[in-house]
Structure 1
Amino acid sequence: MDGAAQARSTADAVARRSYGKLVAFLAAAMRDVAAAEDALSEAFAAALADWPLNGCPANPEAWLLTVARRKGIDGIRRRRSGEAAAVQLQILAELDAATSTVMDDAAIPDQRLALLFACAHPAIDAGIRAPLMLQAVLGLDAKTIASAFLASPGAMGKRLGRAKQKIREAGIRFAIPACNELAGRLDGVLDAIYAAFAEGWSDPGGTDVIRRDLTAEALFLAGLVAGLLPQEPEALGLLACMLHAEARRRARRNADGDYVPLAEQDAALWDAVMIDEAEALLLRASALGHIGRYQLEAALQSAHVERRRSGRTDWTPEVQIYDALLALSGSPVVALNRALAIAELQGPCAALEIVDALAADGRLVEYQPYWAARAALLARTAAYAEARAAFDIAIGLASDPAVRRFLQGRQAVLPR
């Protein structure tokens, strides 16, 4: 591998492994998320110019922090003057002292939880807190975040910019808040972690650089939050839900890399230890006496496992959980999944009535699972021409080649 390729490979590995940690460390010191992101971006650009010539450093994270600090100083001098600049330069001088003591990656203080809770500050609009965390802590771009929240990339980018400006102007502290402040911030933190997990989950083969390692990062953060707040049932419920899903990873693709839906997965490939851990967490959460969204999500995962293991054919438990979850969230995605459960309980015609009503929600127009679900239900009612058209849309929207092949296979067997 030549020097440029080695530099690119090392930089990519550091970005996947430590982006959130580096941004969080810089933002906590600089008290400015946008400035921290800009400084780190410039540091990565400098690395791609320097490392091919001088070799990759033994500690690339520390190298990037040092360069980012210098870039931050340059940025302050360009953008500010007078007392405000003096204060910021003093802050960066303190950062210089901190980074000079960083001898290895493990020594970089992990400020990710502090940054997550800073992004969830009451001064930040509730609707942008989770997207802001996804960008600041996990490095996702506005387009990917917009897709996760069924929004346009342009609008999402503007909202993220305003939120970062608010953090700077309000002087929001980058610290884990006191216990009496946690309740108002926890929901946003959990939403961001779950959204990150879902993005990573959509790329089980790890072929998308943007989504690679997101599930592991999200599981790590969920574990941190659950450990920090062991008496918060929703923190336990989120971790249980994610562990249940992750336990099925090996079964989601066959030996040829083809997509395998849950109903056809080999349960012997599921991680039994991970499932047991999820069940224990869900039991602990239920004993705390407050039911929330993530406990219900975990309960659904648990019900799927129990049904497959026991051979139960009655979908009443799943529909009841979906009823509660829909009442709590009002989410069109939950409504869509509830319709699929109702199809197993009451038949596809009853489910199609719900799916038809959901078509009025513009957020689902480009939501691939909506069209895949609609196609499958239409096929079960022998509306083959309509099913074929819905499959066409679902196939066109599918970003995962394995899912695309799966849908094409289902479409191909429809009678003409």
Structure 2
Amino acid sequence: MYKDVLRFFDEEGLIKCTQDLVRINSVFDPDVEGANESRVTEYLEKLLHKEGFEVHVDEVVPGRSNVIAFLRGKEPGKTLLFEGHQDVVSIGDPQKWKYDPFGGEIVEVDGKKRMYGRGTNDTKGNTAAAFFAAKTIKDSGIPFKGNILLCFPVDEEGSMIGIKDFIEKGWADDVDGAIICEPEEKNLCIFQKGAMRIKVTFQGAQAHGCMPLSGVNPNWALMRFINEIKHLENFEKDRMMRHDYLGWPSITPTLIKAPLEGVAQINVIPDDCYVTLDIRTVPNQDHEALVRQIQGIIDRLSHQYPDDYDRFAASIEIIDDRPWTEVPREEPVVKAVDLAFREVMGSEPKYNGVPGATDGTFLQIRKGIPVIVTGAGDREVPHHVDEWVELNDLIEAGKIYTLAALYYLNEQ
């Protein structure tokens, strides 16, 4: 019905915009002045103003601002949100990259053109595609009802303070549906895993390594705890089984540090230590129940090992809590993306789930907004060395976004 509008889609402009964004280092580092998303913010603000959008730059914290823009229809109607974050993760060791991580270099691989660089896949390419979808509708002059709202927040790769601020300030109050622009191989993701980040700290008593009984080694407590956590993970896998779209739930120890402060030495029993848990949940897992189970492990081990030299003493801290989400296929925003995919790709879409949380998690949990996550890019490439995206994949995603917006807003 609206496929003719795609002749206004600027494919070359999309590729250049993606290159421009990738060439801006927007890795956030709190210890380095100016290491944030500010130059991406400036770029997007200028681009949106140039194209005649209603633009708002909204500071979240000093030096870090969300970019928010509206394209308004001539008739009242629904508001559709496109969301794609400004920040990217660290490049790690630059010596391990074959291609310049901030070069946006285009290379042909197996007959297909790829762009390499941090953010090509996650998710500067998809952010650019969302903008060009809205620009295509504007340039075509085709009438639509309601509003297209673009939100390009900061800090998605961190604590997601950008989208939280967007919600708290009321920007999402009138949003009826959202398309979260992330690298999902253009799969239509209607589930998102939940995420909990937990820190467990173990207390001991510092002593010389040659006289371990004169102190309390917290590392033994940490070891016993991790062993019990593995049993809990296996129990949850047996209880929940493999989810059709999200796979297995998981409880993963990640960071381990001993001692918490000061210099670690091989001949010193540390005074304390900690482990962090990255917990990923699937529908029908109760986060509060999981926390109670973990606290129960701590309580049981504390009673089991009360002796001074072998004492188990630990405390738990919830760092972050993002529940799992799901949205029915019957939701209008899902149906609109489904139809757009069929129009652009000429095939049936694949439905899937996001293996982690996205900014869309908070939009759905806090505001009840139905969200679908989709976009260009291999699902396993984010955060990798030599991150890349296929150019044709990116163009197809942009065209899907374009038609999805029209089908959603002009739904009869």
More strand by share: 2
TM beyond 0.5: no
Quick one: higher RCO (CA 8 Å, sep 6+), 1 or 2? 2
Into which bin does the TM-score normalised by the smaller protein fall? under 0.3
Give TM-score, length-normalised by structure 1. 0.23
Give TM-score, length-normalised by structure 2. 0.23
